[in-house]
Every structure is written in C-alpha cells, then in structure tokens.
C-alpha cells in the first residue's frame, strides 16, 4: 500500500533527571546512546526504534533548528506506560535481572498466549516486558 505506516520510530518519556534515566535504561537493557544532551537522551532500541528521554518541561517551547525547520512544543506529565518486546522463555532471565538490581516487579500477567512483567523506572513510569502472544495476531 502506498503511504503505509511501517512502525513506531520514536517513543518519548519525560524525567526530571535525564542523565539518571539514561543510565537506568542503558544499564538495565544495554541500549546504545545515539544522542546525549542536557535536554534529552536518544537510545537505540532493538535496532529499529528510538526511545527519547526528555527533561521535563525542556521542550514546552518550539525549537528552531540551525539546519532549518522548527520542532513543535511537547511535554508529558505523570507516570505513563511503555512496553518492550522480549523473547518467549526469557521471563526468568528478566525476573532475575530486575530483582538483582533491586527493581520491584509490580505484577506478572498472562495474556492470551503471552506473558508480561511490570515494574517502574526512575520516574515511576510503568515499564512492561512482554513476550509474543499478548496481542492476538501480533508475534513481536
């Protein structure tokens, strides 16, 4: 189909301290840092997506780029949710990895043919690690 959407390229979370948020995600998941600044960190996720970690209220005004163009304002408040896809059968690895870092697993849920682990990051965002099968018809 012409003009089709190929996926989600970027997802954004907002933090009072971008440096500690970036350290949390990089240490826990091994994400590669693509960009690090006072305003944001950009982390490569799974080779296909980018997780943007913005400093809270640092993007509430438009940003004029030296290369031309303007990035419109945006921001987020409160604990939001993000899910990362993990391999089926890796639940025990992630359970041990989280508990060894004193990260509390808030919930574990079976959905359809899949399984999810839930925990909080440094800004109380709800992070989900989900195996294939939680969404019927999506095996990611």
Reported as half-sphere exposure (CB side, CA atoms, 13 A), residue 2 has a value of 0
Residue 139 has pLDDT above 80, yes or no: no
Evaluate whether the domain defined by 1-76 bears CATH number 3.10.180.10: yes
Query: Among 110, 112, 108, which residue's Cα sits nearest to residue 137?
Result: 112
Angle at the Cα of 39 (from 37 to 42), degrees rounded to 5?
60
Mean pLDDT of 73-96: 94
pLDDT for res 68: 92
Prediction pTM value: 0.91
Residue 45 has pLDDT above 80, yes or no: yes
d(CA 128, CA 109): 10
pLDDT for res 20: 96
125 contacts 79 by C-beta, under 8 angstroms: yes
Instruction: Report strand pairing: 81-85 vs 49-55.
Output: unpaired
pLDDT for res 136: 80
CATH for 78-140, options being 3.30.450.20, 3.40.50.850, 3.10.180.10, 3.90.226.10: 3.10.180.10
pLDDT for res 1: 65
């Amino acid at each position: 189909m012409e003009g089709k959407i190929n996926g989600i390229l970027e997802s954004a979370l907002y933090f009072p301290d971008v440096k500690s948020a970036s350290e949390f995600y990089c240490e826990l998941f091994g994400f590669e840092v693509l960009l690090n600044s006072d305003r944001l960190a950009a982390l490569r996720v799974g080779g296909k997506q980018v997780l943007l970690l913005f400093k809270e209220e640092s993007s509430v005004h438009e940003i004029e780029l030296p290369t031309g163009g303007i990035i419109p304002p945006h921001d987020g408040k409160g604990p939001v949710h993000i899910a990362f896809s993990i391999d089926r059968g890796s639940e025990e690895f992630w359970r041990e990895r989280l508990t060894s870092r004193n990260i509390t697993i808030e919930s574990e849920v079976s959905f359809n043919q899949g399984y999810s682990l839930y925990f909080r990051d440094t800004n109380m965002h709800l992070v989900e690690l989900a195996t294939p099968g939680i969404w019927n018809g999506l095996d990611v």
